[in-house]
Structure 1
Amino acid sequence: MSTTIAEGALTFTFAADAEASKYDDWSFYRNQFQQGCFTDNKAVDLLCELNRSAWLIEVKDYRAHARTKAVDLADEVAIKVRDTLAGLVAASVGANDPVERAFARRMVRAQRMRVVCHIEQPAKASRLRPRVIEPDKLKLKLRTLLKAIDAHPIVMDRSGTAATLPWVVS
């Protein structure tokens, strides 16, 4: 049976043999880690583990509201990846929920880490809703920032869902 997770207006349907979770909903993240080690830890939106590959997925949907944060998007994603990895290591030994602890262990012990930034932008650029994020530039900067974790991060939208990914987005 496949796992379906809603993230805002998007729905992620994961392959039947993949294990997926909404990390920022974890009890460990909310109650033990978010304000515990350092103040204001960040988190990627979704985690997926399949065939010893750990997927860290950050979702951004700018179709309804434009980006207003001052921090560069690539920097924001890199910080979320860093904080999520630290949280997963901590959860793998200290999570009170045994399901979260076991999932964190599988993520930490994965043979390969993959980072995905799923970004939706307005279909038609306008003055009111310009297409401000250039996927190629974002991918290049993420590659530089995250090369020790994933030398080939993926920047995608719904139209670019690849058959090689263990999920589809609608």
Structure 2
Amino acid sequence: MAVIVEGTPPTRLRFTFPESWHVDKFDAGNFYRKHILWLEGMKAVDILASRGDLLQLIEIKDFRGHGIQNLKKQESGRLIIDVSKKFVDTFAALVAAKRSEERGLAPFYTLLCDLQKRPVEVILFLERDDPETMLRRHKLTLADLTAKLRRLMSPYRVRCRVMDRRHMPKEIEWTVR
């Protein structure tokens, strides 16, 4: 079982993946820090996860206790733009990892760069403590944000998801506590 912890107490999130998954805390890894981070403006997702022929890029945002401060970022679309950039920059970093033959990242770049068009999912895991009525009023529900993410990521032919602990699809095999 692979466990990745994101954040600091008391709002720490613990992602637990079954044994059959390959998992990497990509934005804290050696390859990213040594070869990608130094490029001005480059970003990366928090977690790379793969199982079988599925690749998932997971970006984690925890806005609990900071809803008011982050409302403008969500309303303006800046959140989805920033997250989309992380996904695209991570795609570029995985191509660099493949070309550098970075073996530790092979379970991920092999799926991304495969000509057989393996399924790739980009996931924004967004924890918030804002009331659902307020989110609906500002068009910031998970469905609203998923639609915005889908529009920005459409050229990449990936499946887009925005979820939180209360709204995780049943087919997601990993857990968050």
User: What range describes the TM-score normalised by the shorter chain of this pair?
Assistant: 0.7 to 0.9
TM-score in terms of structure 2 length: 0.80
Report 1:32-47 matches (<5 A). 32-36=35-39, 39-47=40-48
Match status 1:76 vs 2:76: no
1:5 aligns with 2:4: yes
Q: Which runs of 5+ in 2 are unaligned?
A: none
Whether the 8 Å contact between 2:95 and 2:113 is mirrored in structure 1 is no
Aligned residue pairs, count: 162
Query: Secondary structure of 1:115's partner?
Result: strand
Q: Deviations over 1:113-143 (max 9, x none)?
A: 1011111111547xxxx75743222111111
1:19 aligns with 2:22: yes
Counterpart-to-counterpart distance in 2, 1:82 and 1:123: 28
Partners in 2 of 1:80 and 1:151 — Cα distance?
Answer: 14
For structure 1, the residue ranges without an aligned partner over 5 or more in a row are: none
Residue 93 of structure 2: which of 87, 96, 99 is its match? 87
**How far apart in 2 are the matches of 1:104 and 1:50?**
9
Deviates more, 1:21-30 or 1:158-167: 158-167
Partner of 1:145: 152
Q: Which residue of 2 aligns with 1:113?
A: 120
Flag the 1:150–1:26 CA change in 2: closer, same or farther, 3 A: same
In structure 1, the residue corresponding to 2:122 is in which secondary structure? strand
Give the secondary-structure state (helix, strand or coil) at the position aligned to 1:139. helix
- Contact kept, 8 Å, 2:120 with 2:158, in 1: the verdict is no
1:40 offset after TM fit, Å? 1.9
Q: Secondary structure at the match of 1:5?
A: strand
> In the TM superposition, what is the alpha-carbon distance from 1:91 to its structure 2 partner?
1.1
CA-based RMSD: 2.3
- CA, structure 1 residues 52+5, in 2 after alignment: closer, same or farther (shift >3 Å)? same
> What is the CA–CA distance in structure 1 between the aligned matches of 2:20 and 2:54, rounded to whole Å?
12
| Preserved contact between residue 24 and residue 49 of structure 2 (Cα < 8 Å) | yes
Partner of 1:99 in structure 2? 104
Identity %: 30
TM-score (norm 1): 0.83
